[in-house]
């Protein structure tokens, strides 16, 4: 009789534990982690010592203790490449994949693990093309999984924390490494080796994460949204330089570019020969955007002389404002596709 009582008590105890576990699991929000590769998913090759793609999405998650206590995690492995090999076409596939995941009502948001070399542009591309407004956090690492202190696991933990936080619900797409949160539009990679590499300059961070909490500083810039075209038009990105004879611009025109972005100097100035080549491009109906390598303030129609911003704008060039050249190229690709090459309409996407 006593044994029977013990068995019934044991069964009740197990039942309570199962219900509690199911309830707490059901309580947790669901976050989808879409992996694409990068240092965060690399290990040192024992033969060569160089970092090679070697960590699956599942391994990435298992390297983050306590992640399962913050959210229910679902993993989608899209690819496993160094982000120096990324293309706009892969980002288009990534955007479609993330939107499909976010369409599930139970999914709170997504984390994208990605290489840091082109992460700023990839995040910006998704910021332009995602239909969903749910939070998406790009995360990576500056030290690979074989390093003495990899930064990937903590970055993933912080990214999932951010997706689940109330403070982060209207930020759209961000880049979050080393606890600092940057908007996709303003973020740039500023250091080729240091973990504190992503920064937004004078525009500042959106916030940071500490002790498992999100601290909010700023709202994110207003998001522009453009549809993903079936084919992304060919847009060339060039940097001009002292003594540039404009031949690369002419080459791009003669080889089928539908748009050209030129990273110029100062407030968006080019030399006389490049100015002539730009006018040649415009005469062929090609959309030309001028950006500048100068980090803050960007391009302005400041100079009326040959090749100055005012002259260029008068002649039909689009000034890229304070967008980096690499990001302006992605915006121009999407705008050309949407507006079928109509430069007057394309220009509206670059207004400050």
Q: Residues with catalytic annotation?
A: 39
- Residue 248 C-beta: closest distance to ligand ASP, Å: 26
Q: Which residues contact 285 (CB under 8 A, 6 or more apart)?
A: 341, 343
Using CB under 6 A as the binding rule, whether residue 155 contacts ligand ASP is answered as no
Q: In 3D, which of 235, 109, 122, 95 has the Cα closest to residue 188?
A: 122
Interaction residues for ligand ASP, span 39-78 (CB under 6 A): 39
Using CB under 6 A as the binding rule, whether residue 151 contacts ligand ASP is answered as no
Q: Which residues contact 325 (CB under 8 A, 6 or more apart)?
A: 237, 239, 261, 262, 263, 291, 293
Output 38 or 233, the one with its CB closest to ligand ASP. Answer: 38
Using CB under 6 A as the binding rule, whether residue 80 contacts ligand ASP is answered as no
- Residue 92 C-beta: closest distance to ligand ASP, Å: 19
Q: Which stretch binds ligand ASP (CB under 6 A): 112-120, 169-177, 247-255, 315-323?
A: 112-120
- Residue 326 C-beta: closest distance to ligand ASP, Å: 13
Using CB under 6 A as the binding rule, whether residue 263 contacts ligand ASP is answered as no
Interaction residues for ligand ASP, span 7-36 (CB under 6 A): none
Q: Decide: helix, strand or coil at residue 85.
A: helix
Distance (Å, whole) CA 295 – CA 188: 10
Alpha helices in the chain (DSSP H): 2-27, 57-62, 67-70, 88-102, 119-129, 152-164, 247-254, 272-283, 309-314, 325-339, 343-346
Q: Would you say 73 and 33 are in contact if contact means Cβ atoms under 8 Å apart?
A: yes
- Residue 16 C-beta: closest distance to ligand ASP, Å: 46
- Residue 131 C-beta: closest distance to ligand ASP, Å: 27
Size of the site for ligand ASP (CB under 6 A): 11
Taking each helix axis from N to C end, the angle separating 88-102 and 119-129, rounded to the nearest 10 degrees, works out to: 50
Using CB under 6 A as the binding rule, whether residue 150 contacts ligand ASP is answered as no
Sole binder of ligand ASP in the list 140, 207, 309, 320 (CB under 6 A): 140
Q: Is 283 exposed, middle or buried (0-12, 13-18, 19+ CB in 10 A)?
A: exposed
Sole binder of ligand ASP in the list 142, 145, 159, 331 (CB under 6 A): 142
Output 60 or 278, the one with its CB closest to ligand ASP. Answer: 60
Q: Which residues contact 351 (CB under 8 A, 6 or more apart)?
A: 321
Q: Write out the residues near ligand ASP by the rule CB under 6 A.
A: 38-39, 82-84, 115-117, 140-142
């Amino acid at each position: 009789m006593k044994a029977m009582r013990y068995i019934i008590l044991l069964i009740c105890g197990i039942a309570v534990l199962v219900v509690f576990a199911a309830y707490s699991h059901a309580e947790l929000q669901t976050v989808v982690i879409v992996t694409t590769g990068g240092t965060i998913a690399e290990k040192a090759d024992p033969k060569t010592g160089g970092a090679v793609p070697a960590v699956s999405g599942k391994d990435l998650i298992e390297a983050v203790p306590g992640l399962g206590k913050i959210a229910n995690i679902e993993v989608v492995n899209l690819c496993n490449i160094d982000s120096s090999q990324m293309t706009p076409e892969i980002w288009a596939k990534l955007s479609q994949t993330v939107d499909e995941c976010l369409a599930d009502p139970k999914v709170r948001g997504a984390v994208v693990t990605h290489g840091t070399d082109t992460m700023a542009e990839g995040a910006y591309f998704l910021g332009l093309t995602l239909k969903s407004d749910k939070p998406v956090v790009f995360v990576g690492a500056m030290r690979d999984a074989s390093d003495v202190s990899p930064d990937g696991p903590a970055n993933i933990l912080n990214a999932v924390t951010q997706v689940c936080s109330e403070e982060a619900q209207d930020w759209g797409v961000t880049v979050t490494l080393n606890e600092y949160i940057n908007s996709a539009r303003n973020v740039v990679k500023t250091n080729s080796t240091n973990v504190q590499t992503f920064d937004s300059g004078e525009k500042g961070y959106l916030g940071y994460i500490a002790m498992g909490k999100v601290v909010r500083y700023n709202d994110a810039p207003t998001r522009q949204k453009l549809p993903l075209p079936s084919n992304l038009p060919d847009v060339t990105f060039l940097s001009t330089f002292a003594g540039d004879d404009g031949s690369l611009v002419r080459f791009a025109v003669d080889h089928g570019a539908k748009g050209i972005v030129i990273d110029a100097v100062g407030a968006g100035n080019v030399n006389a020969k490049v100015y002539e080549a730009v006018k040649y491009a415009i005469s062929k109906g090609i959309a030309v955007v001028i950006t500048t390598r100068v980090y803050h303030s960007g391009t302005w129609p400041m100079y009326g002389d040959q090749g100055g911003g005012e002259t260029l704008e008068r002649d039909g060039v689009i000034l890229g404002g304070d967008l980096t050249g690499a990001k302006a190229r992605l915006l121009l690709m999407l705008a050309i596709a949407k507006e079928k090459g109509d430069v007057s309409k394309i220009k509206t996407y670059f207004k400050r």
